Structure 1
Amino acid sequence: MAAVASEAERAVLEEEFKWLLREEVHAVLKQLKDVLKEASRRFTLSATGPEGQTRQENFKLGSSATDQVKGVLTLQGDALAQADINLRLPKHNQVLHCTFREDKQWKLQQIQDARNHVGQALYLLNSRDQTYQFKSGAEVTKLMDAVMLQLTRARNRLTTPAAMTLPEVASSSLMKMFTPPLPGDVFANFYINLSKLCLIVYQLHLLQPNLNKNFKPAGSSVLHNPGSMFEINNQKFEVSHVHKVECVVPWLNDTLVFFTIALQLCQQLKDKISVFSSYWNFKPY
């Protein structure tokens, strides 16, 4: 493209750009709102039934007779309302059966945060209704950047589980939710990874004092591998076995698709805005 357009070309491009700000931007904003309303609706439908009653979804963990960890999880919106788990751990030479205490639910902060970010993105879009007149491309770009930031944070909360140290897992309030309590040498943790609800169970063994010279405490991680070491209450432990089971939550997959579509719409609008600047040797916006 020429750095400096002719006067006639400039006049045509200015009219096209005004039309873009006046008409096409609002058309894209409507598309974005519709997509994000669908994403928001997935979070809402996961929590309430057709008559506003509390809705619960059951998901099965484990798929074969050889699974060391099996069970059923009951998801209610952004919380695990119940967990019914069987642990087949060779060290204990029995199947351990545990459930959540009836007075407890486990909040899945990742889902709650993702829902809040979607709500914030919708708030930003709703602040510019159909009657609002954008005055510059920079104003549109700024709005798209703000919306994309919220959508990226929402997506990241579902795709990037929090890393934790093993002492943090041990001291988590999740460990106090099971009845009967988990054995002292068994830790558990739940998290969301993409559209999957995951359960990690760690089996531990106590390190003897004569092994202290080889002790190397593990740092933060989503999943700690066998051989990971840590210290708690002046005792040193090593992870001997790790068992991971997971189940797909279909509506979480839907929300991730909506995030991708919305981010693409934002980027396409930003690209259209930026194209006009290449027609001039100065930015017309």
Structure 2
Amino acid sequence: MELNAQAQEREWLIKSQVPLTINQLKLCLERCLNLFKMNSKKDSKEETASSKPCKYVFSTPHQEVMKAIVAVDGHRIVYADISLRLPSAKSNSAPVLTSLRENAVWPLIQLRTSGQCVSRAINLLSDAAPAALLASSHAQSHGDAACMLMQQLEVLLSKAVDSLMIPDQWDLGEQARLNHQANLRPFVPDDTMIVFYIHCSRLVAAVYTIAPAPPQAGPRIPVDAPVRAYVGSTFDRGQQRHEVTAVNRIEVTMPWVAEVLCLLTTAQQLCQQLKEKITLMR
């Protein structure tokens, strides 16, 4: 009798809760993907006020270290007007005024990666193969197919979240190689590096004053400095090792990215909850 009751509960879970969770995940992730599309003029079918690039104003209170106005279209900065006053020997403490040249873009790779992961997660849920697998194997596998699907989703969701939460995966050496600031006019002094990145729901503008690193006594294993580098961090720029001598950061909140992170967290919880329910029924 008890085994029969457990079998009925397991069957109810598979036939009721699995489809329900999958539907909830679809709704959640589709809303998430729409946020990426709504904030990209390229993906908008018609020009409206809401499809125009979002503008963000950077400023530092009580000091004039940096001011900037940037416009973000999807995963790209399409406009930037920057004013810097840095302790740079080559700027002589005079303000450095520069702008992103016309038709140039500054990619925000983290947003692109996160959006791609969300799109892949939706495709996984919409794919007929997982649906057929669930329908044909639940009775024998006791939800193993559903757990496998949730695990695959969790990998994609974790990557989507980590892309926004962990900017350290992009180091200053890589930023120097990409050299996005070459699109600024006029050029900034060569002892200055500007980096834009996403940290949680904030767009961060970081300005590094750099200098050739002093020679080290004895062998040394170089470690590339992350974009959240501190004074004294070193990285390769071209054929030479450089050291960070000053760091200035300023940030603005991106409300739609905050909503994306909230939706991704909800989707992760749905996956985990379904896995726990199936495990308890085994």
Range class of TM-score, shorter chain: 0.7 to 0.9
In the alignment, does 2:184 pair up with 1:140?
A: no
Distance in 1 (CA, whole Å) between partners of 2:114 and 2:235 is 31
Partner residue in 1 for 2:59: 62
Residue 201 of structure 1 deviates from its aligned partner by 0.7
Number of aligned residue pairs: give it: 267
Deviations 1:173-209 (A, max 9, x none): 31211100111111111111111111111112356xx
Q: State the one-letter code of the partner of 1:270.
A: K
Moved more, 41-50 or 161-170: 161-170
> Of the candidates 241, 245, 255, which is equivalent to residue 246 of structure 2?
241
Residue 65 of structure 1 deviates from its aligned partner by 4.3
Partner residue in 1 for 2:277: 272
Structure 2: give runs of 5+ residues left out of the alignment: none
Partner residue in 2 for 1:37: 30
Structure 1: give runs of 5+ residues left out of the alignment: 1-7, 278-285
Residue 135 of structure 1 deviates from its aligned partner by 2.5
Residue 220 of structure 1 deviates from its aligned partner by 3.4
Larger Rg computed on CA atoms:
1
Partner residue in 2 for 1:282: none
Deviations 1:250-272 (A, max 9, x none): 00000100011111111111111
In the alignment, does 2:39 pair up with 1:76?
A: no
> Of the candidates 144, 152, 155, which is equivalent to residue 158 of structure 2?
152
Distance in 1 (CA, whole Å) between partners of 2:238 and 2:118 is 41
Q: Secondary structure at the match of 1:135?
A: helix
Partner residue in 1 for 2:9: 16
**Between structures 1 and 2, the one with greater helix share:** 2
What TM-score do you get using the length of structure 1 for normalisation? 0.85
Q: Is the Cα contact below 8 Å between 1:203 and 1:239 reproduced in 2?
A: yes
Residue 237 of structure 1 deviates from its aligned partner by 4.0
Q: Is the Cα contact below 8 Å between 2:173 and 2:224 reproduced in 1?
A: no
What TM-score do you get using the length of structure 2 for normalisation? 0.86
> Of the candidates 243, 262, 275, which is equivalent to residue 257 of structure 1?
262
Q: State the one-letter code of the partner of 1:150.
A: L
Partner residue in 2 for 1:283: none
Distance in 2 (CA, whole Å) between partners of 1:145 and 1:242 is 40
Deviations 1:216-247 (A, max 9, x none): 65533222222234564665543221111111
Deviations 1:49-74 (A, max 9, x none): 97622521111112324041111111
